[in-house]
Homo-oligomer: A and B are copies of this chain.
């Protein structure tokens, strides 16, 4: 399947009937679970998985937004692209698009901001050099 997307890292998700809502299409809030799954697997490729990090510091999701372009029906399989699109001092951005196999087009795109946090103080901290290098690697590879 040809997906017209700038992202080289992609995961596939088979949607579940439960994820529909009473309007008979995938519930808006559910997209953020799909994006989370994509983000975890993406960060995982560089051992940045925030679901695993149990140390005193780690990345947390500070912001996420999604544009809903076309409703998703059941059944369908989605391909979700992910790419780092900005790296700052203590935060970086990950952008996504969601491609529907049934509709053969992008049905949503999303933007998220991940902040490196000191879990004790709850304050953001500079991304350390090792992480910077890893994220930089994602950055350079995120676009085809």
Contact = CB atoms under 8 A, between A and B. Distances in A.
Q: How large is the interface on A (under 10, 10 to 19, 20 to 34, 35 or more residues)?
A: 20 to 34
Interface in A10-31: 13-14, 16-18, 20-24, 27-30
A40 interface: yes
Nearest to A111: B65
Nearest to A110: B65
A32 B18 CA distance: 10
Interface of A: 13-14, 16-18, 20-24, 27-30, 32-33, 35-37, 40, 51, 60-68, 70, 74, 111, 122
Contacts of A67: 62-63
CB-CB nearest 10 A-B residue pairs? A65-B65, A29-B32, A20-B22, A29-B33, A18-B33, A22-B24, A63-B67, A16-B37, A28-B61, A17-B40
